[in-house]
């Protein structure tokens, strides 16, 4: 279990305080979904939808870069 989970409603990292997903959590997620990049994209897409409901003041492009821009 990671300490770098999201603090909901504000979507900051519970482990380091950075915007979630933080660099540590991104590394963990890449390792966890190593053989399933499509599943990682689906998971992060779902997190993007959840975050968009809470972070209504953040531009959609910023949320997209934050949640999906690093997934390849």
* Every domain of the chain and the residues it spans: 6-67
CA 7 remoteness from chain centre: 11
Q: What is the pTM of this model?
A: 0.92
pLDDT of residue 14: 96
* Residue 26 dihedral angles phi and psi, to the nearest 5°: -60, -45
pLDDT 10s digit of each residue in the chain, 72 long? 689 999 999 999 999 999 999 999 999 999 999 999 999 999 999 999 999 999 999 999 999 999 999 998
């Amino acid at each position: 279990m990671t300490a770098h989970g999201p603090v909901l409603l504000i979507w900051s990292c519970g482990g380091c305080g950075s915007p979630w997903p933080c660099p540590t959590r991104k590394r963990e997620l890449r390792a966890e979904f190593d053989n399933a990049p499509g599943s990682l994209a689906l998971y992060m897409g779902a997190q993007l939808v959840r975050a968009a409901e809470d972070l209504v003041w953040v531009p959609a492009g910023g949320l997209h870069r934050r949640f999906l821009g690093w997934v390849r």
